[in-house]
Structure 1
Amino acid sequence: MIKDEMFNNSMSKNKLNPVRAGFQRRKARLTAVTIALAFLVLVLCLGMLYMGNTRYSLKEVIRVLLGEQIKGATFAIGTLRLPRMLSGLLAGMAFGMAGNTFQTMLRNPLASPDIIGVTSGSSLAAVFCIIVMKVSGNLVSLAAVITGLAVAFLVYMLSKRGSFSGGRLILIGIGIQAMLNAAISFLLLRANQYDVPAALRWLSGSLNGMQMKAVPGLLLAVLFFGCLLVLLGRQLKILELGEPSAITLGLRTERIRLVMVLSAVFLIAYATAVTGPIAFVAFLAGPIAGRLIGAGSANVLPAGLTGAAMVLLADLTGQFAFDIRFPVGIITGILGAPYLLYLLIRMNKTGGAA
Structure 2
Amino acid sequence: MAASPVLMGAGIWNDSEPLECVSVLPEAPNTATFTFRAPSGALFDFQPGQFMTLEIPIPGGPLHRTYTISSSPSRPRSLSITAKAQDSSIGTRWMLDNLAPGTRIKAIGPAGLFSMSQHPAEKYLFISAGSGITPMMSMATYMFDLGTGSDLVLINCARRPSEIIFRERLEHMASRDPGIDLKFVVKEPDRYRPWTGYQGMFNQLMLGLMTPDYLEREVFCCGPESFMQSVRDALAGFGFDMDHYHQESFQAPVAKEEDMPELDDTVPEEGARAEILFATSGVTGQCAETDTVLAAAKASGLNIPSGCTFGVCGTCKIRKLSGEVHMVHNGGISEDDIEAGYILACCSNPIGRIEVAV
Q: TM-score, normalised by structure 2?
A: 0.23
More strand by share: 2
Higher relative contact order (CA 8 A, sep 6+): 1
Which of the two has higher C-alpha Rg?
2
More helix by share: 1
